[in-house]
Structure 1
Amino acid sequence: MNWYREISPTEKRTLWTCFGGWALDALDTQAFSLVIPALIATWGIGKGQAGLIGGATLVAGALGGLLAGVLSDRYGRVRALQITVLWFSLFTLLSACAQNYEQLLVLKSLQGLGFGGEWTAGSVLLSETIRAQHRGKTMGIVQSAWGFGWAAAVLLYAIVFSWASPQWAWRVLFALGALPALLLLYVRRNVPEPPRDTSSATARKLDAKLPVLGIFDRSVIRTTIVGGLIGLGAHGGYHAITTWLPTYLKTERHLSVLGTGGYLAVVIVAFICGCFVSAWLQDRIGRRMNLILFALCCAVTVNLYVFLPIGDTAMLMLSFPLGFFSAGIPATLGALFNELYPQGVRGTGVGFCYNFGRIVSAGFPVLVGHMGNSMPIGSALGIDAGAAYGLVVIAALLLPETRGRTIAPVHARGEPGLSSAPAPSEQKPAAQAHRA
């Protein structure tokens, strides 16, 4: 932990602010999956209707991520973070007061806008605050907050549902999801806005455009296309696995391990470990190599899952590497996407690359189902996930290595120990950087 002692107080405060926000987002998102049975019993709705709420929240989250990126470029990183946290907290609290299914569907969808936006705004803020040599570690650590929030949701679910009846317990659990609002007070007092770079011709050119148009400027359009493909492959593989693997193991392999608390605990621990290892590794071997390594391991592990003739115990053990490797990919994307873009369009670019993939990747689970009509569902899942992670590998090879780039011109408050040099991506057009 020598690196942690090296970073400044501002860097530490920003790190833990983003960590706390992402953990609290995860708490509420995972809490919804836990209370679905209570919602079905309370309002007599079907599983399809409950699933629609979750799906609408995810789509809204992707749109919120795109919007928050634009807002962070136009109005500042800290202000965009404050807006998304306040929005998320408000509609989380209102969701606890919903009186019927239709109200909850609308409120959870609106909440999703803040949920997706918080990651984008926080990611860009952190990337421009943390010094280059430790950026990968901090971004990976923040991604691990999802696992801690997930674990907190399971713990709170057990406590609240043992204390209150189901028709009231889910409301209490949702109300606790408003806790991110407390971050606003901390952010206002302790997290400064990163400085704006106006020194380079590229920065001035892109600042003159609307951010949403700037990411399609000739100097960065290649980055936008390739980054979007990485987001598509990363989310496509993940959604194919989470959608179809439980069904495959239960219906075709007749395994019961997925219904156990032990499986859930293994997956959560594996996710956290994967984020931490990816955080350390990407600052050692680079963003591209780290992304390629975890994507290849994901493809191999998924195919072992669907083709090896193993039982419950072995499946439980194999769930650890699956969760471990799948966590390493998103833990890398934050640093990589932020380091690819000039500051004037960085928020919009990060929001697009990450969330374009989230929206379009919905086609991968559909493709598995379609292929499953003519082949075993396990074979379809292995092919589909392999193709998705293969897309990540190919797209990563088309990008430059960005490890070590300084992407903020001067650190806030002039704290010592941080480079004040402009980023390589801002010293020369992105197109030249790709050829380097």
Structure 2
Amino acid sequence: MADNGITIETASPIAESGSLAALFRAMNPTEWRTFRACAGGWGLDGMDFMLYPLIIGTIMHQWAVAPGPAGFAATLTLLASAIGGWLAGYVSDRIGRVRVLQITILWFSLFSLLSAFVQNFDQLIICRALLGFGFGGEWAAGAILMGETIRPQFRGRAVGSVQSAWAVGWGIAVLAQAIIFSILPPAIAWRAMFAVGALPALLVLYLRRNVAEPAISVAARRTGTPGILTIFGRETIMITLLGSLLSTGAQGGYYAITFWLPTFLKVDRHLSVVGSTGYLAILIAGSFIGYLAGAWLSDRLGRRKVFLIFSAGAIVTILAYTQLTILNDAMLVLGFPLGFFASGYFSAMGPFLTELFPTRLRGSGQGFTYNFGRGLGALFPALIGYLTQSIGYGNAIAIFAVAAYALFFLAAFALPETRGRVLTA
């Protein structure tokens, strides 16, 4: 069947029970093992990435780094992750999802640890850029692995629930910051934070013993592997282009908000590192609930409706958070819906991109579209950093976030619904 000129595989009926509880009751041992591994990997991936935004204020002060170069370091990490994610997706079509997942986790764990021992900001930029290759590759391999292992009627909830682990990892990073900065001087504390980022390497031991390659992936590789540019062929180029725009809006908006928000709270709202912890905790709680709600709604309403609802909600809440003159207590409460709408749609991204591409192109297609968006979205932290010097953090964040979510909304409107699609080799 075709929709908007895009070929769609035959869809299966959605399970009658659309609850998250039904998902956890119904998963078989193979699905459970894969779920635990991917949730752990994504959560620790989120922890590693969020370490830098949390401690950037300390590094800027210690090494006299301006906001522009500080944002550029994050941008470079995300650009590297875009390249790493595309390559990891392509390689996973050739050597398997599980093997690529193991390699990428070890990679970003190593460079997080090395970041703890750098002697200047230039060295830190290099380490964070190299970390980005593994950071991007982990999502590409893990999302595809989950999408191909979980049955169609549960795919949205399962992959979306794994996405919620990002909020858990973010919360661990904030908790680590509060504890470490309370017991160590700032000049040492930020190094200890990066050292904590080496913990994901332990997950590889679990992967090697418990997670098997999806049978559909093995079968597809037996038929041969296409070239890296095949996703731009006549049959899939519209999927590739629209999926890339969708990802650009989704990730550009998210990075515009989350990277500079801790600094916004300190500079514009005059909160200390410890004082801002409660605000970030409310934001993270909203993010976590948003991920779970997005997971449930993506199977209940469909992927596209989730994108449309959450992108509109994100525009409204970020404008209120950054543009309204409100007391800190009101801002504390407003952090929950901001985290909810600015994060929850990611629960539908993984299953949606998995379902858009045929199995033989899934790694390359999903890896490219998601990470193309990550690459363009990566420009936002640097651009915001430079723009803040003239218009302030709140205004700069609002401009880029609203533009990104508007693009996200329009791309989602143009793409077809994929809920319940059966994946074939």
Instruction: Give me the identity figure in percent.
Output: 49
Q: Distance in 1 between matches of 2:117 and 2:327?
A: 44
2:239 to 217, 223, 226: 223
Tell me the residue number matched to 1:401: 417
1:287 to 283, 303, 307: 303
Deviation at 1:194, TM superposition (A): 0.8
Choose 1 or 2 for highest CA Rg.
1
Q: Secondary structure at the match of 1:402?
A: coil
Tell me the residue number matched to 1:158: 178
1:316 equivalent in alignment to 2:335? no
Tell me the residue number matched to 1:73: 93
Q: Distance in 2 between matches of 1:37 and 1:386?
A: 25
Q: Distance in 1 between matches of 2:386 and 2:25?
A: 52
Deviation at 1:327, TM superposition (A): 0.9
Tell me the residue number matched to 2:12: none
Tell me the residue number matched to 1:414: none
Shift in alpha-carbon separation, 1:242–1:95, aligned structure 2, 3 A:
closer
Tell me the residue number matched to 1:18: 38
Q: Distance in 2 between matches of 1:172 and 1:162?
A: 12
Q: Secondary structure at the match of 2:347?
A: helix
List aligned pairs for 1:101-180, cutoff 5 A: 101-180=121-200
Deviation at 1:288, TM superposition (A): 1.0
Cα RMSD (Å) = 3.2
Between 1:106-115 and 1:167-176, the stretch displaced more is: 167-176
Q: Distance in 2 between matches of 1:255 and 1:167?
A: 24
Tell me the residue number matched to 2:276: 260
Deviation digits for residues 374-394 of structure 1 (CA, Å, limit 9, x no counterpart): 999977865654443232222
Q: Secondary structure at the match of 1:33?
A: helix
For 2:298, the aligned partner's letter is Q
Between 1:91-100 and 1:146-155, the stretch displaced more is: 91-100
For this pair of structures, how many residues does the alignment match? 402
Note if contact 1:68-1:120 (Cα within 8 Å) is conserved in structure 2.
Answer: yes
Tell me the residue number matched to 1:46: 65
Q: Distance in 2 between matches of 1:373 and 1:94?
A: 31
Q: Distance in 2 between matches of 1:6 and 1:313?
A: 42
Shift in alpha-carbon separation, 1:170–1:225, aligned structure 2, 3 A:
same
Deviation at 1:250, TM superposition (A): 8.2
Q: When the two structures are superposed, what TM-score results if normalisation uses the length of structure 1? A: 0.82
List aligned pairs for 1:390-429, cutoff 5 A: 390-407=406-423, 422=424
Tell me the residue number matched to 1:303: 319
Note if contact 2:294-2:346 (Cα within 8 Å) is conserved in structure 1.
Answer: no
Tell me the residue number matched to 1:64: 84
Deviation digits for residues 9-29 of structure 1 (CA, Å, limit 9, x no counterpart): 111111111111111122222
1:348 to 364, 373, 378: 364
1:209 equivalent in alignment to 2:234? no
Tell me the residue number matched to 1:358: 374
Note if contact 2:84-2:137 (Cα within 8 Å) is conserved in structure 1.
Answer: yes
For 2:50, the aligned partner's letter is Q
Q: Distance in 2 between matches of 1:126 and 1:64?
A: 19
Deviation digits for residues 380-417 of structure 1 (CA, Å, limit 9, x no counterpart): 8656544432322222222221111122xxxxxxxxxx
Q: When the two structures are superposed, what TM-score results if normalisation uses the length of structure 2? A: 0.84
Note if contact 2:148-2:216 (Cα within 8 Å) is conserved in structure 1.
Answer: no
Tell me the residue number matched to 2:4: none
Shift in alpha-carbon separation, 1:101–1:306, aligned structure 2, 3 A:
closer
Q: Distance in 2 between matches of 1:144 and 1:125?
A: 17
Deviation digits for residues 29-66 of structure 1 (CA, Å, limit 9, x no counterpart): 22223333554566x34244544433322222222111
Between 1:153-162 and 1:347-356, the stretch displaced more is: 153-162
Deviation at 1:267, TM superposition (A): 0.5
Shift in alpha-carbon separation, 1:396–1:371, aligned structure 2, 3 A:
same
Shift in alpha-carbon separation, 1:192–1:275, aligned structure 2, 3 A:
same
Note if contact 2:75-2:378 (Cα within 8 Å) is conserved in structure 1.
Answer: no
Tell me the residue number matched to 1:411: none
Segments of 5+ residues of structure 2 without an aligned counterpart are 1-20
Shift in alpha-carbon separation, 1:173–1:221, aligned structure 2, 3 A:
same
Tell me the residue number matched to 1:186: 206
Note if contact 1:255-1:311 (Cα within 8 Å) is conserved in structure 2.
Answer: no
Q: Secondary structure at the match of 2:229?
A: helix
Tell me the residue number matched to 1:413: none
